[in-house]
Amino acid sequence: MRALIQRVSEAEVRVRGAVVGASGPGLLVLVCAMAGDGDAQADALAAKVAKLRIFKDEAGKMNRSVRNVGGGALVVSQFTLAADTSRGTRPGFSGAAAPEEGRRLYERFAEALASEGVPVETGQFGADMQVSLVNDGPVTIWLEV
């Protein structure tokens, strides 16, 4: 699985103008299940995100996790993280998991992250979503497991 993690002051996702998920200080997690991924990858990615030390401690160093700071996570499905641009200028997405499996692993990831003690809100899988955020730092981290 792949994820793009952004440390945020706030984030929200809208579908047809209505807010379907939001977070205050914490993380925006754009996540993509890749072909061949399974429960083990979803669980491992969730554990890594929960423990990722990208929040400042008292000395101003990135030494605290989202759990340590009491932050939440807005988790949004993002199949375009599977983009392959190696053959031209039009990305291919054949490396992404099939939609049914992608949905299942996206939901598994969100549940696993919540079980790690991180309050989780989500977008709507497969919908045309508008995501807004205030990136804190900015801090943006690419993860793959």
pLDDT digits (tens, 9 = 90+) for 71-95: 999 999 999 999 999 999 999 999 9
Q: At what angle do helices 99-115 and 39-51 cross, to 10 degrees?
A: 40
- Look at residues 20, 19, 23 and name the one whose alpha carbon lies nearest to residue 133: 23
Q: What percent of the chain has pLDDT over 90?
A: 100
Q: CA 132 to CA 9: how far, in whole Å?
A: 11
Predicted local distance difference test score (pLDDT) of residue 17 = 97
Q: What is the mean pLDDT of residues 41-55?
A: 98
Average pLDDT over residues 45-58: 98
In the chain the domains, ranked by start, together with CATH numbers, are 2-144 (3.50.80.10)
> How much is the pTM?
0.96
Q: What is the mean pLDDT of residues 27-52?
A: 98
pLDDT band for position 11 (50/70/90)?
Answer: very high
Tell whether the torsion through CA atoms of 71, 76, 77 and 82 is positive or negative: negative
pLDDT of residue 4: 98
Residue 90 pLDDT: 95
Q: What residues are annotated to the active site?
A: 78-80
